[in-house]
Copies of this chain bind each other. A is one copy, B any other.
């Protein structure tokens, strides 16, 4: 790739970013787009839809930039929770790393590379006509002593990243503890989920749970709530909601109140018609709910609440039963975070579904390459003409040829990568996780490894799937192969950061896909006051994206330091845009209190190790075997550092220590509102499908709360 090509790409994408920013600055001020760009403020009632027109609305203003810039971490914590803070810290962490690496890369490595003389000399007259390779390590001769500069850079950056990783882990760990101390008593702190409950014939799950916990945790047990199979109920509720929506719509619009029905067209009062239908559905709901609350539909799982956080923690940490595959305990999620649809209760089912999902993920990750390769085959036009002969006439037109070969493959690849996060989320959801946060956490991991495999390795090692697998199965030669293949792709990944990176983050600001959906939907939408949902940030989509850019930066900083300025721009954009989105768009749906951080830590450690493996291979290739030997202690140090961090910090991200829980419990003892809290706790984990709903006029009978045999208050 020539410098001019890169500059063109940078120009186009900078232009795109400016356009996005300007359009955003205008559109966000239009009341009809409030739903899209400031749904949070709208939902909180801070912004009202003003229909009054003024000229100011059409002039782009950078006020939002200032607000996003000025927000402090405390503000972010208070409006979006600890998860948002952790998310922003991924970006600031990357910024710090690449500022440090950038200084080394631009001021030391880049001059060293440029003055090498392996390739033809740099042409200072016409800079844009140089190959990008001149700026990479490929420009240094074998055995050149200048490679020691790269060697030192590898050591320095590894040390700096490890230092920062340690510091961040410590900081977020402390934040987690502080979060527990400052938070009000919350149901999930006092509750565990027990599953694989062994039920003897003749007794219900509810009775069994109560008997067990009264016997073994008499002093701390408070209440329990058995989980029911409610898929049928959920279906009925969905029906009722839709009918209700249509009904209210009809009532507000008198024109549509009457309608000709059937061929012979006698007029029917539609309000009456739908009202009756709704009543029917509600009656069904009531009956179904009664049936579900009976023992027959009980799942062998229950939320068990305790009188103290410590009590719940003890029950969680101890193996309860002689058979470790029964009475399995796990921490309860927040009530709103529970993923009700899928509740597999038996140990074997969960275990097997987990294994199946892992296998499915691995297969998907490996085999996804096949369609990608076929799509990339589009660049080979002759092949295409043989497959699809009727295209021959079209392909003679140069424009189509350019589109098909130059743009289509990349577009198809990007679009197909877009569907990966939902697929991974689906796979995680059938893996047996019980809450949305765990599902997203697991999906983040899956998407990350998917991206590393399908973008990094697939681009680096071009060839068949089997060839790629054979590389992984031959661990001894990985560094050597990486050393040959990775530097060759430097210009590709620089372009990747500029195109995919910059575009994805500015389209995040502009919300292109939601905008698209919104514009499509609007003509059919009945009124602008329709209900709308404030979205939540999809961590499993955005975290892997940012981490992958981090991986690119760390692996390429010493090979092609030219990647660093572009990465810095990317992270600066991400910094300001995500802060803005947290203020205006995204609302947290759950709070894991920073449990996403270990994913970031692991990804960074993997990046470091990959970088070191490349360095080993490269120094061997460049006949500087002393340097390649000296990288090994660094890899050992990185592994030991990771192991130490696992021991030092990870436990705090799995569960809170006894010390903290006991202190927090003591604080509560003097709190007069605890009695009320315990009352709420008893019903906190009621399945939403089991709660009464208020739709039809004569639905009073439904408003009586069901006396659930599961909610036993002691």
User: Whole-angstrom distance between the alpha carbons of A674 and B215 in the complex?
Assistant: 22
> Quick check: is A324 within 8 A (CB to CB) of the other chain?
yes
> Quick check: is A325 within 8 A (CB to CB) of the other chain?
yes
Taking a contact as CB atoms closer than 8 A, the residue among B473, B640, B658 that contacts A320 in the complex is B658
With contacts A216-B658, A640-B355, A657-B319 taken as known, whether A652 is within 8 angstroms of B476 at the C-beta atoms is: no
> Quick check: is A662 within 8 A (CB to CB) of the other chain?
yes
> Quick check: is A262 within 8 A (CB to CB) of the other chain?
no
Taking a contact as CB atoms closer than 8 A, the residue among B324, B474, B650 that contacts A476 in the complex is B474
> Quick check: is A569 within 8 A (CB to CB) of the other chain?
no
Residues of the B chain whose Cβ atoms lie less than 8 Å from the Cβ of A355: 640
Closest to A216 in B: B662
With contacts A351-B647, A355-B640 taken as known, whether A659 is within 8 angstroms of B320 at the C-beta atoms is: yes
> Quick check: is A633 within 8 A (CB to CB) of the other chain?
no
B216 near A320 with CB under 8 A, answer no
With contacts A325-B648, A647-B325 taken as known, whether A318 is within 8 angstroms of B476 at the C-beta atoms is: no
Residues of the B chain whose Cβ atoms lie less than 8 Å from the Cβ of A321: 657, 659
Residues of the B chain whose Cβ atoms lie less than 8 Å from the Cβ of A474: 474, 476
Residues of the B chain whose Cβ atoms lie less than 8 Å from the Cβ of A111: none
Q: How far apart are A594's CB and chain B's nearest CB, in angstroms?
A: 15
User: Whole-angstrom distance between the alpha carbons of A173 and B662 in the complex?
Assistant: 34
Residues of the B chain whose Cβ atoms lie less than 8 Å from the Cβ of A134: none
In the complex, which residues 641-689 of chain A have their Cβ closer than 8 Å to any Cβ of chain B? Answer: 644, 647-652, 655, 657-660, 662
> Quick check: is A475 within 8 A (CB to CB) of the other chain?
yes
B216 near A324 with CB under 8 A, answer no
User: Whole-angstrom distance between the alpha carbons of A351 and B647 in the complex?
Assistant: 10
Residues of the B chain whose Cβ atoms lie less than 8 Å from the Cβ of A647: 324-325, 347, 351
> Quick check: is A313 within 8 A (CB to CB) of the other chain?
yes
B652 near A177 with CB under 8 A, answer no
Taking a contact as CB atoms closer than 8 A, the residue among B322, B347, B650, B655 that contacts A657 in the complex is B322
Residues of the B chain whose Cβ atoms lie less than 8 Å from the Cβ of A473: 475-476
Q: Digitize A118-133: 1 where CB-to-B-CB distance is under 8 Å, 0 elsewhere.
A: 0000000000000000
Closest to A176 in B: B322
Closest to A215 in B: B662
> Quick check: is A317 within 8 A (CB to CB) of the other chain?
yes
Q: Digitize A342-370: 1 where CB-to-B-CB distance is under 8 Å, 0 elsewhere.
A: 00000100010001000000000000000
A319, A355, A649 — which one has the most chain B CB atoms within 10 A of its CB?
A319
With contacts A476-B473, A647-B351, A657-B324 taken as known, whether A318 is within 8 angstroms of B317 at the C-beta atoms is: yes
> Quick check: is A314 within 8 A (CB to CB) of the other chain?
yes
Q: How large is the interface on A (under 10, 10 to 19, 20 to 34, 35 or more residues)?
A: 35 or more
Residues of the B chain whose Cβ atoms lie less than 8 Å from the Cβ of A659: 216, 320-322
User: Whole-angstrom distance between the alpha carbons of A321 and B658 in the complex?
Assistant: 7
A319 near B476 with CB under 8 A, answer no
With contacts A324-B657, A473-B476, A476-B473 taken as known, whether A319 is within 8 angstroms of B651 at the C-beta atoms is: yes
Q: Digitize A302-322: 1 where CB-to-B-CB distance is under 8 Å, 0 elsewhere.
A: 000000000001100111111
B314 near A655 with CB under 8 A, answer no
With contacts A325-B647, A474-B476, A476-B474 taken as known, whether A319 is within 8 angstroms of B216 at the C-beta atoms is: no
A215, A314, A475 — which one has the most chain B CB atoms within 10 A of its CB?
A314
A317 near B320 with CB under 8 A, answer no
Q: How far apart are A616's CB and chain B's nearest CB, in angstroms?
A: 15
Q: How far apart are A9's CB and chain B's nearest CB, in angstroms?
A: 40
Taking a contact as CB atoms closer than 8 A, the residue among B177, B325, B644 that contacts A322 in the complex is B177
With contacts A314-B314, A662-B216 taken as known, whether A657 is within 8 angstroms of B351 at the C-beta atoms is: no
Closest to A662 in B: B216
B652 near A324 with CB under 8 A, answer yes
With contacts A314-B314, A325-B647, A651-B324 taken as known, whether A658 is within 8 angstroms of B319 at the C-beta atoms is: yes
Taking a contact as CB atoms closer than 8 A, the residue among B314, B320, B322 that contacts A652 in the complex is B322
With contacts A216-B662, A474-B476 taken as known, whether A318 is within 8 angstroms of B322 at the C-beta atoms is: no
B313 near A318 with CB under 8 A, answer yes
Give 24 pairs: A residue, B residue, CB < 8 Å, sorted on A. Answer: A216-B658, A216-B662, A313-B318, A314-B314, A314-B317, A314-B318, A317-B318, A318-B658, A319-B652, A320-B657, A321-B659, A322-B652, A322-B657, A323-B648, A324-B648, A324-B649, A324-B652, A325-B648, A347-B647, A470-B476, A473-B475, A474-B474, A474-B476, A475-B475
The interface of chain A, by Cβ under 8 A from chain B, is 177, 215-216, 313-314, 317-325, 347, 351, 355, 470, 473-476, 640, 644, 647-652, 655, 657-660, 662
* Ranked 9 nearest A-B pairs via Cβ: A324-B651, A318-B658, A319-B657, A317-B317, A473-B476, A320-B658, A319-B651, A216-B662, A314-B314
